[in-house]
Amino acid sequence: MADADDILDSLPPPASVVLGDPSVVVEDVTVTYRSETSNADDLQGWRRWVGQAQLSMGLTAFTKVEALKGVSFTVPEGEHVGIVGANGSGKSTLLRVIAGVEPTASGRVLATATPMLLGVNAALLPAMSGRRNVRLGLLALGFQPDEVRARMPAVIRLAGIGEAIDRPMSTLSSGQGARLRFAIAAAADPDILLIDEALGTGDAAFTARSKRTIDELRAKAGTIFLVSHAAQTIEKMCTRAIWLHEGELITDGPAVEVARAYRWWAHNMAQDETALADELLALARGRFRAQT
């Protein structure tokens, strides 16, 4: 069996890409969630005793989840960055922080344009119809009234929710609402585009249509962040990738190299080869730290 060093050494050299000035700077970002827990063993030190006492009295105990731990990187314009990592590693949190919809406990994000997280940025009003929400959504994105009129049919076609477009938002299914949000955001032509595949929703026809739209947006956007569980998607679509593990940035480098290292790690975890997986993770982390 190949050892961790052989695996990392067999990876191809970095691809070369032509890049512009910095477009997104993530500086030492930490995000902490406070979450209910029914298991006091989740808690550390004195909090465990307090938690046990709270739970035994039928009260609620809270634990702290560090979703991102001091994550830093700079992305130049034109870069397509994949974010990989196991479930719960902090990928969606990172996208939400870059989009400005998730507060940080410390650190900051600087961007040269407003980053658009597909499907999340549009805040819809429940009492208004889908159609009026599309109008408001497009106005909120900064389009002039004549541009709004011109773009509305395409947005409504992409959402593809039929007659439900004239019903109040509050009566739509969550899938229909998600499709509308996606379609509004997709009209934005953002310079900095954030795509979370986990947000993918809807039936096969919508999935195909939204994939086409994402491809068009990708072709136009300057800087792209893409979260995907499929390391092959990251290899194919991205120039660079970041591997997160339990909120920590493990490595950041050429997409092919990072995605393959992550794939080997995931493969070994799936095979219960946890010792080799741990070794791979430590090596990838060590190599990256040595470079920076």
Ligand X SMILES: Nc1ncnc2c1ncn2[C@@H]1O[C@H](COP(=O)(O)OP(=O)(O)OP(=O)(O)O)[C@@H](O)[C@H]1O
Contacting residues toward ligand X, per CB under 6 A: 33, 35, 65, 67, 85, 87-93, 198
Contacts of 181 (CB under 8 A, 6+ apart): 119, 120, 121, 122, 124
Smallest gap from residue 201 Cβ to ligand X (A): 14
Q: Which helix (H) or strand (E) holds 253?
A: strand 248-254
| Nearer to ligand X (CB atom), residue 165 or residue 195 | 195
Smallest gap from residue 88 Cβ to ligand X (A): 4
In the DSSP assignment, the letter for residue 246 is T
Q: What three-state secondary structure class fits 78?
A: coil
Smallest gap from residue 261 Cβ to ligand X (A): 17
| Nearer to ligand X (CB atom), residue 63 or residue 213 | 63
Compute CA distances 103 → 88, 90, 98, 118, whole Å.
Answer: 18, 14, 10, 18
Smallest gap from residue 153 Cβ to ligand X (A): 33
Quote the CA–CA distance of 61 and 264 in Å, as a whole number.
Answer: 37
Smallest gap from residue 83 Cβ to ligand X (A): 8
| Nearer to ligand X (CB atom), residue 91 or residue 179 | 91
Q: Which helix (H) or strand (E) holds 281?
A: helix 274-291
| Nearer to ligand X (CB atom), residue 35 or residue 56 | 35
| Nearer to ligand X (CB atom), residue 165 or residue 281 | 281
